Amino acid sequence: MSTIFSQIVEGEIPARIVYEDETTVAFLDANPLAPGHTLVIPRDEYERLNDVPDDIAADLYDTVHRMVPAVEESVDADATTVAFNNGEAAGQEVLHVHCHIVPRFEGDGGGPIHAIAGDRPDLDDDDLDDIAADIESRA
């Protein structure tokens, strides 16, 4: 079964599309966290960032890069929070990769990305060295 975002790509359900090209589409979030809240997706359905092929990932970033200033200027935002909920444990509800571009305004009452985490882990230098080495070996 295709995701709701694939249905938007196929024109089967309506959306306020603000940009599209061969491989990506951007449209307004239907339940915006702020005016101008925009989603950027690959046309093809990939569940997580980890599943996106390199060339499509580059296209996706290009569209995010294009849309951030367009969105900020459009709603006269002071800043934007740009983020992916990458996986259900991170709060991803629609299993079709999407980047949130959320306009931010001075005094809007929102928090930084750091506010998403629960309790901070207690990691010493050895733990950090091990984690860094392990990630580096996989990059």
Among all residues, which ones are annotated catalytic?
A: 98
Site membership for ligand AMP, residue 18 (CB under 6 A): no
Burial bucket for residue 19 (CB in 10 Å: 0-12, 13-18, 19+): middle
Q: Which of 53, 69, 91, 110 binds ligand AMP (CB under 6 A)?
A: 91
Buried b (16+ CB within 10 A) or exposed e, 50-64: eebeeebeebbeebb
- Cα distance between residue 115 and residue 109, in whole Å: 12
Q: How far is the CB of 13 from ligand AMP (least distance, A)?
A: 6
Give 70's contacts (C-beta < 8 A, 6+ positions apart): 18, 19
Query: Which two three-digit tokens encode residue 104?
Result: 């931010």
In angstroms, give the least distance from the CB of 92 to ligand AMP.
Answer: 4
Minimum CB distance to ligand AMP smaller for 13 or for 131 = 13
Q: Count how many residues are written for the chain.
A: 139
Q: Does 4 bind ligand AMP (CB under 6 A)?
A: yes
Binding string to ligand AMP for residues 25 to 64, with x set by CB under 6 A, is what?
A: ----xxx---------------------------------
State which of residues 85, 104, 105, 108 lies at the interface with ligand AMP (CB under 6 A): 85
Specify whether the CB–CB gap between 80 and 101 falls below 8 A: yes
The residue ranges that bind ligand AMP (CB under 6 A) are: 4, 13, 15, 29-31, 85, 91-94
